[in-house]
Amino acid sequence: MHSEGLLDDEFYRDFADPYFTPRLSKSIPNAKSIIVVAVPQPILRTTFHWESRKVQVFVPPNYPDAHKVTWRARHELKRAFRPRQYKFVRAVLPVKLLAVKSGLAKYGRNNITYIPKYGSFHRLTAFFSDYESPNDNWRDKEALPLCAKCRACINACPTSAIQKDRFLIRVERCLTYLNEKEAKHVFPKWVDASAHNSIVGCMRCQRACPYDKDVVDWHEDRGEFSEEETAYLLRGRFRGDKAAEMQKKLKRVGLDLSIFPRNLKVLLDRE
C-alpha cells in the first residue's frame, strides 16, 4: 500500500516495524496455527479534578487492559481445549487484518473491526499455537453490509480522515494517529479544538456508527485524579518515584505519560 502511494510516509515510518515484518516466536518454533481472539470491552470514563471542577474524559475500548485481555483469552483457550494441552504464545501481528481475513470480524468504513453484538467495542489479541486446525476459513476482506450506503462515520469524522472516494482512511489525518504521538509533537493547526473528544484515540466515528447503537453507552468508571495529580500531569516534567507512581496509575486506564501534558491540556482548555 505504501509503494502504491496509499499510505502517508510518516505513518509508514512510525508503524513499519514490527507489524509489517511479523516473526515467529522462538518459544514455539513448531507453531501450526494462529488464533485470533476478540474480547468485548467498554469505554472507560476517567475523572480529573481541575480548578474545583470534575472533568470526565473517555478512553476508547481498545486501549486498556492489554495484558488482562491476553491472559483472559489464553485462559479461555486452554480451558476450551482440555484435556489436551496446547501452547498459546502471544503473537505480535496485524490483528485487525487477521480477524477480518479469518472471518472473525468485518471492517467498518472507518477501518475499525466489528464483531457481532459488540460492534467495535472489543480488543483483539492473537496467539501462535502448536494446535493444528483441520479447517481453513481464510477469505477475502469483507466490509459491513451497510457501509456501502451509510455515511454516518464520514459525516462524524472531525478531521475528514474518512472519505467518500476511497475505503482506506487518510490515516495521516486521523485524530487517533495524531494524539497517539508523544506529547512533544504539537497538533497541526488544521485540527479544530472542538475535534478532541477522548484523552487518547477518538470516538466520533464509533459513536455515530449504527452497528454500535446497542453498546455506544456501555462504559465503566475507572480512575480518578486529584487536583494535585492533574497539576503534575499538566506540568509535563516526569521523573523519579512520582513519575513511576503516576505511570502505574495511568496504566489502569490504558494511558501512559507520553501523551501528557498535551492531550489533557486540549480537553481541559475545551471545557
Nearest-angstrom CA–CA distance, 258 and 256: 6
- Parse the chain into domains and list their residue ranges: 9-22+31-270
Query: pLDDT truncated to tens, each residue of the chain (271 aa)?
Result: 888 998 899 888 887 765 567 778 889 999 999 999 999 999 999 999 999 999 999 999 999 999 999 999 999 999 999 999 999 999 989 999 999 999 999 999 999 999 999 999 999 999 999 999 998 889 999 999 999 999 999 999 999 999 999 999 999 999 999 999 999 999 999 999 999 999 999 999 999 999 999 999 999 999 999 999 999 999 999 999 999 999 999 999 999 999 999 999 999 998 7
C-alpha cell at 123: 480488543
Strand ranges across the sheet with 43-50:
53-59, 43-50, 219-225
Report pTM. Answer: 0.93
Task: Please state, as a whole number, how many other Cβ atoms lie within 10 Å of the Cβ of residue 83.
Answer: 4
Triad 188, 191, 195: Cα angle to 5°:
145
Nearest-angstrom CA–CA distance, 224 and 230: 10
